[in-house]
Amino acid sequence: MVKSFSQRGSRKRRRTGRVKRTRSTEETEQRILDAAHAVFVRAGTAGARTLEIAKEAGVNPALLHYYFRTKERLAEAVFRRAAGQLLPAVVRILASDATLEDKVEQVVQVELQFLSKAPYLPGYILSELAHHPDRAPQLIAAVTGEVPVALGAQVRTVLAKQIDARVRDRTMHPISPDQFAVNLLALCVFPFAARPLFMALFGIDQKGFEQFIDRRRKELAPFFLRALRP
């Protein structure tokens, strides 16, 4: 019996496990990845359903298998993408020649603006790491894939030099570069990571949370810098 074109194509895909790259396939794959990102970040890996992803992408569910083979492979692709969005801009700011005051202000503005558009992202990443510890290397790879590894060492060196100068001038308490960076990031990320708990605890709705973040944009940098003064 003569095999049809579609049967021969399916057989070839099973042998190679790869999809021939064309502009059309890349656009479809990107649409699926965009939809999966929205669903996974919103519902987590365990709560995400392939039918929901297909509906969000506007494609036949069979195409998810065609492009990504399994839900797990799709989840890994989404996690790498999400992780790569969280830190690179901050690392570049901290490694720059800007003053400490400017760095703190820039990090606060960049992180709060970005997370306001992706409020589920911190909770999603923390949840994925808690349930899938093996994804920690993916997080590191996603960050270092966008930011050269040497930039991490540069952040530590630049911050240490700036902090030491302030300590010698007695205008800042001693603090390690790692603690400086982690404390700053935590103050930016925590409200979003704990957003549902925060909203329930203080009895605010989404609009109230957005107003809280708007105030935080103005108040967080001065608060952080005041805490470091002797």
Higher pLDDT, 125 or 14: 125
**What length does the chain have?**
230
Q: Are 116 and 138 in contact (CB under 8 A)?
A: no
Q: Is 13's pLDDT higher than 60? A: no
State the Cα–Cα distance between residues 189 and 180, nearest whole angstrom: 14
Give the per-residue pLDDT at 84.
76
For the whole prediction, is pTM greater than 0.95? no
Please spell the DSSP secondary structure of 91-124, one letter per residue. Answer: HHHHTSSS-HHHHHHHHHHHHHHHHHH-TTHHHH
Which has the closest alpha carbon to 92: 162, 150, 165?
150
Residues 6+ apart with CB under 8 A from 153: none
Residue type, 77: A
pLDDT tens, position by position, 88-113: 788 889 999 999 999 999 999 999 99
Q: Looking at per-residue confidence, does 135 or 193 come out higher?
A: 193
Instruction: Give Cβ neighbours of residue 189 (< 8 Å, ≥ 6 apart).
Output: 111, 115, 122
The CA-based dihedral angle spanning residues 71, 74, 78, 80, taken in that order and rounded to the nearest 10 degrees: 120
Q: Is the pLDDT of residue 142 over 80?
A: no
- How does pLDDT run across 43-74, given as a tens digit for each residue? 888 888 989 999 999 999 888 888 888 888 88
* Whole-number CA gyration radius for the chain: 22
